[in-house]
Every structure is written in structure tokens, then in C-alpha cells.
Amino acid sequence: MIITQGDITTFDGDAIVNAANTRLEGGGGVDGAIHTAGGPRILEECRLWVAANGLLPTGEAMVTGAGNLSCDLVIHTVGPIWAEHDEESAHRLLASCYRRSLELAAERGCTSIAFPNISTGVYGFPKRPAARTATATVEVWSDENPDLDRIVFMCFDAENLSVYSALLDS
């Protein structure tokens, strides 16, 4: 696992993960940044997926092309809104976001993936507990599935970078 601070839309690898909403319509934060940088093709693919499948449930993930981004794929996952779940359910759903994203990347032959800090923005998931769930889930999954050899936590801000760095240093 690699931890860095930066803009996930500039990741040069196979896949990036988008912290999406259930409607896959684009929004604020990382979701808005990915849709803006990737261009309209991503939104078109999302709309087609929703038309065929309905809303994307919390904890699940789906894949689109990357449009104008430098990666090949965008894996959209819906993290839990902290205030809408009890603590155990929120952690279970967040872990599912990471696990499902990794599974979809592996199914498509990816060897590299970058994650944002899912649910820690407007969805209100506390940063430290979210980082513990994220790193623990990724560590267990990668021990069992070594084909994804570059898993990056792309922290947008210094606070998340500090939280993730402290976890991996311990």
C-alpha cells in the first residue's frame, strides 16, 4: 500500500475509485472532480448503467471507462453516510466499498488502483475510523490477491495523509 497526497484525477495507473452517490450523477468533492476531469463520457456510461440496473446500493461498486483521465477505468462505489447507519453497519458498508472495488479491478486485470478517502467528506464518516477500516480491508484483500501490486491511498488533504501515514507506520 502506498499513501500519497494529491489529486486522484491525475493518477497514472489502471483504475481510480470514485466516491459516488447512488444515482451516479456526479456531485461535489472527488465525485465532481472525476466527472469534470473525465468529461461527459463517464456520466453517459453511469446513466446507462442506472437505467439498466437502478440505483447503485451503498457498499457496492460498478465500472465505467475513464473518459479523458490518464487511467483506464473508473470504479464507482457508494460509501455510507455516517449519520444514516449504526457504527457497525457503517464500517461493514465502508469495507465493502473497498473490497468490491478491488474485486472489480482484479476481474478486469488491473495491477494498479488509487482510492480516495471514501465517505470522509460530506458523508461525515470520521477520518481515523474510516482509515482503519480502509487499510485493514485492503491489507486482508491484498494478502489473498497479490495481482494488484500497486494500491494507492490518494489523500486529497494533509489531514487524511497524516491519519493514513500514522496507521501504516504503526
Q: Which residues are identified as catalytic?
A: 31
Q: Using CA of residue 87, residue 16, residue 34, residue 169, what is the dihedral sign?
A: positive
By the 8 A CB rule, do 110 and 148 touch? yes
Residue 61 grid cell: 461498486
What amino acid occupies position 48?
A: L
List the beta bridge partners of residue 155. Answer: 5
- 43 Ramachandran zone, left/alpha/beta (phi>0; psi -120 to 50): alpha
Helix (H, G, I), strand (E, B) or coil at 157: coil
Helical (H) or strand (E) element with 142: helix 127-144
